[in-house]
Structure 1
Amino acid sequence: MKIEFLISTYGKRINDIKLTDLPKKENVSYLIVVQQIDLSSFNNHLLRDDVRILLLSTIGVSKSRNYALKNAKSESEILIFMDDDIKFVDENLDLILDVYKNKEIKFATHQIINEKGNLRKKYINNKEQHNLFTILKYGTVEISVRHDFIKNNNILFNEKFGAGSELSACDEPIFLSDIIKKGGKGCHIRKNLFIHPDESNGLFSSNINSIMSRGAMFKVIYGRWLSIPLIMLFFIKQALKKRREKFKILKYLIKGYFRV
């Protein structure tokens, strides 16, 4: 089974990627998409026969992911998303890929840990099948896909969503929902594939786009009417945590709903 890792990076951050974090293995290759880089700042340290580097002048991580999907090798059977700040847990790759022996599986989610070896979040059970509700919590670097299904169904990330766009989050669940709506089955594998440093998501009040993204995401995934009670349920949960910000949260959830 041929595997290709799709890595998105931006500007000089490509110089932070180390070849030692990209293990050289049979039937494994890497595609790095670099946005907004001055070639004079690139130090050529990633030149290797299993690594390809493509330049992209636009901004927005969804545009980068889509460019990688469109330029993945035709012979690559499984595509796995990566970022420029994660390390590869090499020994678990084959265990994760075993799930694709089942031809019905079109995508899978895996786990990531922090630098202390702790899981970054709570995950569902091993090999539990995904649905339109279980996909909401996964980031791009927790996702792998079957290449031919994505290509044949023209499934791409919604470029209205994701870092660098007006709606700065929720591009991943929308992408996975499109796979499910096209008839693709997915499941979760309780194996760690990447080490990712802990991040702070911040408060809702510091990221208006994050709130708007969720209001818009509910509408895109669940439709005009079902999304409304789901938005209200999300609002209630957040309002209980951040009582002083509840009206701001509701305002921008509604604003997001009407952006799509």
Structure 2
Amino acid sequence: MKRDNLDFLIPMFPFCHFSNFSILIINQTDDEYLLTSEFPTVRVINSNEIGLSKSRNLGLKNVTGKIILIADDDVVFFENFQENIIIEYNQNQDFSAICFQTITKKGHLYSKYPKERKKLNSKELRKVLSIELTFKIEDVKKENCLFNEFFGLGGKFQDSETFFFLKRMVHNGCKVIFIPLPIVIHEAFSSSDDASSDRVIYARMAGYCKSHGIFAYFFLFKYMFFLLRKYNLSVPEMKKKFGIGLSGIYDYKLILNKNLDSRYE
């Protein structure tokens, strides 16, 4: 957001110049911070819209190439990441998307990944970071797979945008596989990791309503027990968190009632 030069790309590719790669930057900004590029391989779209999913959907409409990798501006790529991605797609040609691993800056795996390559179930899809996700743009466009703009940072429900994108891919017939191979380095914490924050609770309960309908209330109680065990919250804090979860379910039900979204999962 609000970038006015390309210097942020330099530490992302420490092994070569960033212009060696085909990059599309969606810069959500205003007229004070406009980004331009002098490199033919680095394209820029300055957008006045706000929201992570809106940014990614704008990117999907304007990408070139065959295989797309989503990149945040605070990651560092491994030197051989591009070659490894291409090798895996050549070996798994029936799959529309391949999810990889992230390594923390301390050299550890970002999360507890499956030990072997496999198709991911719904619970495992929820853990996929956007920076681990690659996909064939032709398949995504053919199956009309977009990011749900109600979800994601800057949206109404600020979480789970990658999960619902993958769920939509699977629902529409795209095959998704996980490969236990790291391609990127990131801090050991992401915006979705604070499970006790009001933002995450509100968004996740809305997401449970989207995925499970009336059973979202069951997941709300289950989530409250999880918070109690992990964070040892007081009774007043738990009451507040429960109310926030209820609001997430209620507000998403309003969206469904107005036919603004669909429970395709």
Q: TM-score, normalised by structure 2?
A: 0.82
Deviation at 1:203, TM superposition (A): 5.1
| Cα distance in structure 1, aligned partners of 2:163 and 2:123 | 9
Deviation at 1:60, TM superposition (A): 0.8
Provide the aligned length of Structure 1 versus Structure 2.
Answer: 245
| Cα distance in structure 1, aligned partners of 2:52 and 2:7 | 18
For structure 2, the residue ranges without an aligned partner over 5 or more in a row are: 253-265
- Residues 21/47 of structure 1: CA separation in 2 closer, same or farther (3 Å cut): farther
Between Structure 1 and Structure 2, the one with more strand by share is 1
| Cα distance in structure 1, aligned partners of 2:201 and 2:86 | 35
| Cα distance in structure 2, aligned partners of 1:208 and 1:112 | 26
Contact 1:32 1:52 survives alignment (8 Å): yes
- Residues 41/29 of structure 1: CA separation in 2 closer, same or farther (3 Å cut): closer
- Residues 225/125 of structure 1: CA separation in 2 closer, same or farther (3 Å cut): farther
What amino acid sits opposite 2:57 in the alignment?
A: N
Give the alignment's Cα RMSD to 1 decimal.
2.6
1:118-197 equivalent positions in 2, closer than 5 A: 118-197=108-187
1:90 corresponds to: 79
Deviation at 1:247, TM superposition (A): 2.3
Contact 1:111 1:192 survives alignment (8 Å): yes
1:4 corresponds to: none
Aligned sequence identity (%): 25
| Cα distance in structure 2, aligned partners of 1:167 and 1:104 | 33
3-state DSSP class of the match of 1:63? helix
- Residues 124/246 of structure 1: CA separation in 2 closer, same or farther (3 Å cut): farther
| Cα distance in structure 1, aligned partners of 2:133 and 2:18 | 20
2:107 corresponds to: 117
For structure 1, the residue ranges without an aligned partner over 5 or more in a row are: 1-9
1:104 and 2:97 aligned: no
- Residues 227/98 of structure 1: CA separation in 2 closer, same or farther (3 Å cut): farther
Deviation at 1:27, TM superposition (A): 9.3
Q: TM-score, normalised by structure 1?
A: 0.83
Deviation at 1:176, TM superposition (A): 0.7
- Residues 200/49 of structure 1: CA separation in 2 closer, same or farther (3 Å cut): closer
Deviation at 1:150, TM superposition (A): 0.7
Contact 1:107 1:186 survives alignment (8 Å): yes
1:207-246 equivalent positions in 2, closer than 5 A: 207-220=197-210, 222-242=211-231, 243-244=233-234, 245-246=237-238
